[in-house]
Amino acid sequence: MDSSQSPSDRPPWPSSTAASFVLLVVLVVLTGEMVGDWLWLGTPGAVASNPTPLIWVLGPPLLLLALTGAVTLLEPRIMVRRRHLEPVSGDLIGAQRFGMLAEAEGVRPCPALMANTADKTISARSVGRPGRYLVVMTPAVLGLARRRPGDFDVLVRHELAHIRSGDVALATFAIRSWHVTLLAMAVPLVVRIWNPDLSLLPSFLLRAGVLALVVYAVRAQLLRVREHYADARATPTLAQRRDFDAALAAGMLGRPLRLEARSPSPNLTRRPTRRRRPPRWLALHPAPAERVAVVAEPGLIGVPRWTSLGAAGYVAGAAHLLLQEALWSAGMDALTASGVARALLFGVVGIVGAGEVVRAASVGRAGARALMGPAVALVVGAALGDLFSIGMTGREALPWGGSLSGLVLQLQMLQTLAAVMSALGVAGLLVWAGDALAFVRLSEEPTRRSRRRVSWIVAVVGATAGALTAVYLWPPLPGAGMVALALLLATVAVMLLPQPRRRVLGWSVAGAGAGLLALVALTVLQRADPSAAGVVGSPMTLVLVVALGVGIAGSLRLGAAAGLVIGVAGTVLDTIAFVLVTATLRVVSVEDVLWTLAWWTCWAVLSGLPILAMVGLVRGPTGSGEQSARRPPDASRISRRRA
């Protein structure tokens, strides 16, 4: 694709279908854990206070993953036998045109073309795995190759785009994971239905219902987003985009779209229908208006999605008790096991969040406000996941049922508070990162190799930042962890700086100078009135406030990353000056110097992050052209772009 195009004219990266697929795999594992825990508690001699045996911890999740994978691999054979599919003769015009389009798109080997002669609808679908793909078409679609070759080409390019993207098997896994999840959740009900004691049944149904809703939402998002990616990849040229709009209006790609040509720029409206569509976040297929808007502006795919971060937060809350129990069984003490489990889980959240931020920045749609909704979804998901923890399934009844003791309820609320605090820390970090990356302009499309390298860097940085942020906030880490977190975030901020270094250096010197002036003014004030020391507080506290104030002023012009560097640089420079002056008055050890410098550097980062994130929210859209995630398609703008 032409690198001169704006970032919004090309699909974003990294792909969000990969993140959704990983979340689906984790959710299937959680389903197996919940089912195994419930089944084990129903065995004779099981005690709820004892850890779940390893066979019940690993067996059901592995079985569900194996079952879902097997069904995914067998999907082509099942479809061929169930729908009585037959190979399409190579003499037909449709088959010949299909082969030419596959060769032109670089799809090798050419997928097998099959059809169901009894199907009277207009549809096409791709199934299979790399090297063994099938494209299933109805006779009506094959007839389009002779009557309406433009519409036929649109359908074929769309299916070939799925194959080139490698998301065919992922979609099949997503579809079958929902069926396997429902089947697995029904097993404990069938097994325990003969038990006269059904007091724990409401707890299981409630937790299973929340888990099933999250699985369905992630599955629906994966299926919707893959369609958007296929639409964008199948229409790189202006002529192909016009053919796509025509085919969509004719109903060749699902529900038709009606065009009302009341002006030179037609308004795209939905055809009235009696059946009410499900909510957007539950729909398995994108609406026609959304597909038209994405084809006109593929950067819309990069808008941060709250479903991914909400599901990641739910996983971090729901799986915490399970992972903590496993670490405790391995020999860790309870407090350490809780901290390590929370760090690992929120490290995964950090990876998902970092992917969302970088994806939005790759198409110029990062920003504090763009990340606000997903950040709130992360906090809500973590709270719901901890309240309806999978690890508590079968060990207590609902709190309003009266069987939960006061002590257990207090511990549950404390764990939920810890999850919310950790999620708030990671959410604030994501909002800050979104505002920082909003000032980054990606003028060229990176190569596949550079994408892979950047993806690994983003994953490592996101996992480390998420883990350290979560563990620092609850429970507090020692000083070494605080310093590691501060240095990590400061380093990332420097790496992301798109502005000239001289401007940042000038603001940093200004912040340091303002801090020194504040120190001098405080010294004069204290000599004139000793009682003022108790009002102002520590000299370094005043320096920190002044340096961060200059950093906030700099962030209004240069972004959150520059603001953080300016605030930290001013604090560090003034801390060095303060230590040097103190060393001339009394003996100071090297350890004291390093500790003082690390302490105030850490506080500059940890206090500057949430402040700069809130400043980004108040400031609104930035100079990079951050756009609202809920902006409706603008038909006049689409027509101007295509003209």
Predicted pLDDT of residue 594: 72
The model's pLDDT over 179-233, given as tens digits with 9 standing for 90+, comes to 999 999 988 888 777 766 666 677 788 888 999 999 999 999 999 999 988 888 8
312 in a domain, yes or no? no
Helices and strands of the chain, counted as H and E runs: 22, 6
554 in a domain, yes or no? yes
Same domain, 27 and 112: yes
User: If residue 125 lies in a helix (H) or strand (E), which one and from where to where?
Assistant: strand 124-129
Report which of 111, 137, 109 is spatially closest to residue 123, judged by C-alpha positions.
137
Mean pLDDT of 65-85: 91
Overall number of domains in the chain: 3
Same domain, 141 and 208: yes
Report which of 596, 536, 597 is spatially closest to residue 569, judged by C-alpha positions.
597
Mean pLDDT of 77-83: 89
| pLDDT over threshold 50, residue 261 | no
Predicted pLDDT of residue 602: 74
The CA–CA distances, whole Å, from 589 to 143, 416, 593, 595 equal: 86, 43, 6, 10
Q: Which range among 59-63, 187-191, 295-299, 613-617 shows the weakest confidence by mean pLDDT?
A: 613-617
Mean residue pLDDT across the chain = 76
| pLDDT over threshold 50, residue 402 | no
| pLDDT over threshold 60, residue 479 | no
Predicted pLDDT of residue 528: 66
- Cα angle for residues 260, 263, 264 (degrees, 5° grid): 110
The model's pLDDT over 25-68, given as tens digits with 9 standing for 90+, comes to 999 999 998 888 888 877 777 666 667 777 888 889 999 999 99
User: Which of the four pLDDT bands, split at 50, 70 and 90, describes residue 269?
Assistant: very low
Q: Which range among 4-18, 250-264, 538-552 shows the weakest confidence by mean pLDDT?
A: 250-264
| pLDDT over threshold 80, residue 468 | no
Same domain, 456 and 597: no
Same domain, 288 and 346: no
The CA–CA distances, whole Å, from 537 to 522, 531, 540, 592 equal: 10, 11, 9, 20
519 in a domain, yes or no? yes
Strand arrangement, sheet containing 86-87: 86-87, 112-115, 132-137, 124-129
Same domain, 35 and 63: yes
Predicted pLDDT of residue 554: 82
Phi-psi region of 50 (alpha: psi -120 to 50; beta: other; left: phi over 0): beta
Same domain, 576 and 456: no
Same domain, 468 and 594: no
Q: Which domain holds residue 71?
A: 16-257+281-302
30 in a domain, yes or no? yes
User: Which of the four pLDDT bands, split at 50, 70 and 90, describes residue 639?
Assistant: very low
Of 302, 334, 366, which residue constitutes the final position of a domain?
302
Of 302, 335, 360, which residue constitutes the final position of a domain?
302
Same domain, 411 and 387: yes
Predicted pLDDT of residue 68: 93
| pLDDT over threshold 50, residue 637 | no
316 in a domain, yes or no? no
315 in a domain, yes or no? no
Of 501, 529, 563, which residue constitutes the final position of a domain?
563
Burial 170-194 (b: 16+ CB within 10 A, else e): bbbbbbbbbebbeebbeebeeebee
- Percent pLDDT > 70 in the chain is 73
- Cα angle for residues 346, 349, 351 (degrees, 5° grid): 115
Same domain, 293 and 352: no
317 in a domain, yes or no? no
Same domain, 241 and 289: yes
The more confidently predicted of residues 168 and 543 is 168
User: Which of the four pLDDT bands, split at 50, 70 and 90, describes residue 481?
Assistant: low
| pLDDT over threshold 60, residue 480 | no
Same domain, 495 and 349: yes
| pLDDT over threshold 70, residue 356 | yes
User: If residue 459 lies in a helix (H) or strand (E), which one and from where to where?
Assistant: helix 448-473
Same domain, 434 and 582: no
The model's pLDDT over 496-555, given as tens digits with 9 standing for 90+, comes to 555 566 777 888 888 888 888 877 777 777 666 665 544 444 677 777 888 888 888 888
Predicted pLDDT of residue 305: 86
95 in a domain, yes or no? yes
The model's pLDDT over 412-451, given as tens digits with 9 standing for 90+, comes to 777 788 888 888 888 888 887 787 777 665 545 556 666 6
